Amino acid sequence: MAATNRTVVSAAQALDEPCLLCTSVTATTVPDCLVEIVKAAQAGVDIVELRLDYLSAKDVVNVPQLVQACAENKVLCIATYRPKWEGGRYEGDEEFRLEMLLKAAQAGASYIDLEYKLGPQAIQEFKSKCSESQIIVSDHDYDKTPPTSELEALAESMKEYGADVVKIATTATCIKDAFRMLQLARDKSSTGQRTIALAMGEEGLPSRLLAPKYGAFLTFGALAAGSESAPGQPSLADMTQVYRLKAQKEDTRVYGVIGDPIKHSMSPVIHNAAFQELGVDAVYLPFKVTDIDDFMQTFVEYRLSGCSITIPHKEQVARFCGVVDEVAGKIGAINTIVSSGTDKGDDEGVLQASNTDWVAAIAAIENKLGGEGSLSGKQVCILGSGGTARALAFGAIERGAKVTLANRTLSKAETLATELGCVAKSLGDLESDKGLTGSVLINTTSVGMSPNIDAAPVSEDVVSRFSLVFDAIYNPLKTKLLQMAEKNDKMIVSGVEMFIGQAAEQFHQFTGLQPPVELMRQKVMERL
Ligand code: NAP
């Protein structure tokens, strides 16, 4: 991949202030706001944003009480009275709005948020009346993330308007948008300008979760899932417990999983717990990626250390990698990338690609069957001919097994079997061909996956002809197919072993350390 011209601002140049953890209080009554302030303090936030536009005009006059509650709970506060014209809820006149903000300042609010669109005169006039508070000048783009040159000009202009803190919130349409915002935060804070630079939306998540690494002034989290004040906000619990924002430093290495959809991936929970357990200074994020070119360019430009790859990108990433593991190359699917580069300097490093799916599945089967090498010479029947079947068939052949592929659509099995030099059958053939027996039956179809837990891809008669049954599905843990096998006294291996195994091997590749497999298993089981 071509080298980039981006200037990497060193950590030492950034402001020597920890990034504050903030949550927005969006209750619609004063008593409920007071409850939320207490909850926010208990959740470990440093600063609370009082969203006065969620209150009625009758309630908002009590803003001094809310400011005081923040002080009593030892959290800083921002008073924000967001008008409808800037994406907020307030629809009244400007005079009352600014009067309430002044009231908040006089009550001791640490920061007052004023919209950039108010213009320099109104902002400076307000500032001259309130020496008690610092001014955050903010701007929101609910459609896009403008070009970096425009964002830089906007930040400069905000400063000229009198901003003590610059806040720019945009909308990310790709992962690069999130990293451009992080870079803006780093560049501005390196000049002494406190900066909040956030990209809203799921693609923007890195801008929230990596804010400490990039020297941002603060980052927002939601008090609870469902109480987000902007799209894409993670929960405070995840920010502190899963992503450990308070422990993040400029050198913290960044890993992640790319896919679409990615929201429900268990990988961040597993890998972050493993990093924490072994004291590895690294964080692992979910990246919602639709455009693989954009992501891979971002990966290199922003010196990410490695990533896991899931649907639909496994077949697309090899072309970006300098070294592709031989079996992964033959399979044509990659689920792991590790960069040999570091977070600093001009060396972008070499991207090394591999596939830990097959390694994990084959290891789980061989462990049960009698140890490493036990698949050699064995008859293996694989149900399905999709991506997982392809990886496992290559893996089994690599270990010396004799493979038969059986698929609902015979032509797909035939195409794959021709490539691999093995036998193809239809699922129907399998039912009628009583002579087809073997050691291992592997299911890679989605039949039996939750919610269709009463379905199985083949009959109990077929199951009874094998010694060991492996199901790639891990939800439910014990599929109908595995239940049938158990009933017939066959050995069984759940897909969860493959899932844990592929993550463990990835962790090893990421860190060079022995993975804490039992902890990783525990984290998966908690989520299933
Ligand atoms: P894929 O490429 O879409 O392949 C799906 C396969 O299932 C195809 O062979 C398809 O047959 C077959 N199939 C689908 N519906 C069927 C039905 N009603 N009856 C019979 N066959 C049917 O999917 P994949 O990526 O290989 O994933 C397959 C399974 O593996 C999923 O359940 C996934 O959760 C699991 N998996 C588990 C792990 C793990 O870590 N444990 C990792 C990856 C995948 P046709 O060709 O006839 O359409």
Mean pLDDT of 234-239: 94
11 pLDDT band (50/70/90 cuts)? very low
pLDDT at residue 378 greater than cutoff 50? yes
Assess whether the C-beta atom of 318 lies below 6 angstroms from ligand 1. no
- Compute, in angstroms, the gap from residue 449 CA to the centroid of ligand 1: 10
Q: Which of 140, 313, 425, 480 is catalytic?
A: 140
The protein residue with its alpha carbon nearest to ligand 1, atom 44, reads 388
Q: Is 451 exposed, middle or buried (0-12, 13-18, 19+ CB in 10 A)?
A: exposed
% of the chain beyond a pLDDT of 70: 96
Assess whether the C-beta atom of 477 lies below 6 angstroms from ligand 1. no
Mean pLDDT of 78-98: 97
Q: What is the pLDDT of residues 492-522, one digit of tens each?
A: 999 999 999 999 999 999 999 999 999 999 9
Pocket test for ligand 1, best of 315, 445, 475, 493 (most atoms within 8 A of CB): 445
Q: What residues are paired with 196 via a beta bridge?
A: 167
Q: Which is higher by pLDDT, 423 or 387?
A: 423
pLDDT at residue 162, rounded to an integer: 96
Assess whether the C-beta atom of 243 lies below 6 angstroms from ligand 1. no
Please report how many Cα atoms fall inside a 13 Å half-sphere around the Cα of residue 64, on the Cβ side.
6
- Compute, in angstroms, the gap from residue 467 CA to the centroid of ligand 1: 22
The protein residue with its alpha carbon nearest to ligand 1, atom 12, reads 445
Q: What is the pLDDT of residues 475-498, one digit of tens each?
A: 999 999 999 999 999 999 999 999
Assess whether the C-beta atom of 457 lies below 6 angstroms from ligand 1. yes
Assess whether the C-beta atom of 384 lies below 6 angstroms from ligand 1. yes
Q: What is the pLDDT of residues 393-406, one digit of tens each?
A: 999 999 999 999 99
pLDDT at residue 5 greater than cutoff 50? no
Q: What is the pLDDT of residues 358-369, one digit of tens each?
A: 999 999 999 999
Q: Let me know if 313 is a catalytic residue.
A: no
Q: What is the pLDDT of residues 149-169, one digit of tens each?
A: 999 999 999 999 999 999 999
% of the chain beyond a pLDDT of 90: 89
pTM for this entry? 0.91
Contact 249, 213 (CB under 8 A): yes
* Cα–Cα distances in angstroms (integers) from residue 447 to residues 97, 262, 384, 394, in the given order: 58, 22, 10, 22
Pocket test for ligand 1, best of 336, 388, 404 (most atoms within 8 A of CB): 388
Please spell the DSSP secondary structure of 178-229, one letter per residue: HHHHHHHHHHHHTTT-EEEEEEESGGGHHHHHTTTTTT-SEEE-BSSTT--S
Pocket test for ligand 1, best of 267, 446, 447 (most atoms within 8 A of CB): 446
pLDDT at residue 207 greater than cutoff 90? yes
Q: Which of 314, 378, 425, 480 is catalytic?
A: 314
CB atoms < 10 A from the CB of 258, how many? 26
Mean pLDDT of 203-208: 98
What is the token pair recorded at 252? 């913290």
pLDDT at residue 346, rounded to an integer: 55
pLDDT at residue 145 greater than cutoff 60? yes
Going edge to edge, which strands form the sheet with 76-80? 194-200, 165-171, 134-140, 111-115, 76-80, 47-51, 20-25, 218-220
Q: Let me know if 140 is a catalytic residue.
A: yes
Torsion angle (degrees, nearest 10) of CA 205, 249, 236, 137: -70
d(CA 76, CA 70): 6
H-helix or E-strand spanning residue 280: none
pLDDT at residue 320, rounded to an integer: 96
Assess whether the C-beta atom of 498 lies below 6 angstroms from ligand 1. yes
The protein residue with its alpha carbon nearest to ligand 1, atom 38, reads 472
Report residue 250 CA to chain centroid gap: 19
Q: Let me know if 357 is a catalytic residue.
A: yes
